[in-house]
């Protein structure tokens, strides 16, 4: 478990202090140095071995869409969960044990996160668009309805929805709003509720190289070579790696030196990517074609490779 002694916000300290005793491993990323420029603040391994990437902020309105999409896409490529931890949304306080939604990523407050990890609470209410809904176990709902001797039409009449709506509840195609869920629980019992997995892997769409705005020709070249070898490629701008390559049998992290990047910045990014690779248990390469910079990094204990060397390693 690795946590820096400095450069952390109060919100980030609060999250770390609340969850560290309930997880198997935890790493805080410190690149970029400015908190508001990062898409990922914490990577943690849960006690069930699942990995989760966390972004911590006071108010989700302070996050850009790029922040959250990058968190989502990197997590999806790494088969990890993604979660935003915040206290407010647009100045309105988050409610305990409710999962909010930000660009396809779930968001909860730190109290909810801690209680879920401690096994003291479950989340049943989640945001869907402009509405809040309740997760239902469709099999349990159907079983309880039959045990109560209720037809689809009779149950629909009691909760004041259409028969078709109840049918869709039981197929899992739609979820009831809070008021309808309360009526269902009154009639069928709490066992019909299903908890929301706030640590689930997010969904994302695939992009071709032509659709991605890379920071350098070196990044674009590496991305193409990875895709030629059947890797799914995610380009990141606001975290400690530049490219994530994902394939059924392999996942790799690439730090690619940009022409404008300072040596100290590259070193910090490389050190953080090494910590990330450790907790992810995946391969990590720092890619530098400049022989002088490569030698300087190796003098700092950071192994670096040229693009051709990385490709040779992938081929082997």
User: How many distinct structural domains can be found in the chain?
Assistant: 3
Structure confidence at residue 4 (pLDDT)? 52
Helix (H, G, I), strand (E, B) or coil at 103: coil
User: Which two three-digit tokens encode residue 35?
Assistant: 């908190």
Task: Among 101, 123, 145, give the residue marking a domain's end.
Answer: 123
pLDDT at 5 over 80: no
Same domain, 180 and 276: no
CB 286 within 8 A of CB 302: yes
Same domain, 46 and 65: yes
Task: Among 104, 123, 142, give the residue marking a domain's end.
Answer: 123
pLDDT one-digit tens code per residue, 35-53: 888 999 999 999 999 999 9
Same domain, 264 and 288: yes
In a domain, 228, yes or no: yes
Task: Among 70, 99, 123, give the residue marking a domain's end.
Answer: 123
Residue 8's pLDDT band (cuts 50, 70, 90): low
Residue 209's pLDDT band (cuts 50, 70, 90): low
Beta-bridged to residue 26, according to DSSP, are 44
In a domain, 2, yes or no: no
Structure confidence at residue 44 (pLDDT)? 97
* CATH code of 287's domain: 3.40.1350
- Residue 287: give the domain boundaries: 209-315
Helix (H, G, I), strand (E, B) or coil at 236: coil
Structure confidence at residue 175 (pLDDT)? 94
Residue 6's pLDDT band (cuts 50, 70, 90): very low
Give the span between the Cα atoms of 44 and 245, in whole angstroms. 20
Average pLDDT over residues 208-219: 74
Average pLDDT over residues 160-178: 94
Give the span between the Cα atoms of 84 and 62, in whole angstroms. 12
Average pLDDT over residues 172-199: 95
Structure confidence at residue 20 (pLDDT)? 94
User: Which two three-digit tokens encode residue 98?
Assistant: 């409710």
Give the span between the Cα atoms of 222 and 309, in whole angstroms. 11
In a domain, 146, yes or no: yes
CB 25 within 8 A of CB 1: yes
Distance spanning both ends of the chain, measured CA to CA: 32
How many other C-beta atoms are found inside a 10 Å radius of the C-beta of residue 45? 19
Beta-bridged to residue 106, according to DSSP, are 83, 101
pLDDT one-digit tens code per residue, 234-278: 999 999 999 999 999 999 999 999 877 889 999 999 999 999 999
* CATH code of 155's domain: 1.10.260.40
pLDDT one-digit tens code per residue, 75-110: 999 999 999 999 999 999 999 999 999 999 999 999
How many other C-beta atoms are found inside a 10 Å radius of the C-beta of residue 84? 25
Distances (CA, A) of 293 to 120, 268, 302: 51, 14, 11
pLDDT at 311 over 70: yes
Structure confidence at residue 206 (pLDDT)? 60
pLDDT one-digit tens code per residue, 276-293: 999 999 999 999 999 999
């Amino acid at each position: 478990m690795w946590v820096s002694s400095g450069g952390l916000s109060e919100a980030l300290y609060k999250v770390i202090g609340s969850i560290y005793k309930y997880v198997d491993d935890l790493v805080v990323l410190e690149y970029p140095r400015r908190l508001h420029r990062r898409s990922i603040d914490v990577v943690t391994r849960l006690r069930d071995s699942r990995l989760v990437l966390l972004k911590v902020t006071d108010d989700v309105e302070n996050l850009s869409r790029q922040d959250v999409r990058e968190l989502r896409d990197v997590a999806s490529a790494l088969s990890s969960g993604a979660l935003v931890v915040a206290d407010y949304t647009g100045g309105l306080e988050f409610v305990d044990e409710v999962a909010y939604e930000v660009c396809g990523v779930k968001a909860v407050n730190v109290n909810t996160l801690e209680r879920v990890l401690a096994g003291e609470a479950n989340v049943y209410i989640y945001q869907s668009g402009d509405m809040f809904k309740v997760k239902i176990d469709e099999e349990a709902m159907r079983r309880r309805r039959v045990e109560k001797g209720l037809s689809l039409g009779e149950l629909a009449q009691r909760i004041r929805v259409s028969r078709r709506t109840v049918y869709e509840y039981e197929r899992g195609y739609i979820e009831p709003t809070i008021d309808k869920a309360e009526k269902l629980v009154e009639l069928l019992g709490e066992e019909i509720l299903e908890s929301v997995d706030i640590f689930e892997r997010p969904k994302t769409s695939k992009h071709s190289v032509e659709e991605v705005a890379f920071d350098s020709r070196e990044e674009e070249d590496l991305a193409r070579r990875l895709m030629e070898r059947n890797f799914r490629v995610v380009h990141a701008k606001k975290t400690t790696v530049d490219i994530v390559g994902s394939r059924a049998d392999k996942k790799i992290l690439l730090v690619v030196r940009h022409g404008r990047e300072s040596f100290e910045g590259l070193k910090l990014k490389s050190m953080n990517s090494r910590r990330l690779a450790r907790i992810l248990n995946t391969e990590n390469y720092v890619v530098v074609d400049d022989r002088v910079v490569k030698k300087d990094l190796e003098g700092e204990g950071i192994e670096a490779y040229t693009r051709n060397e990385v490709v040779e390693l992938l081929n082997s």
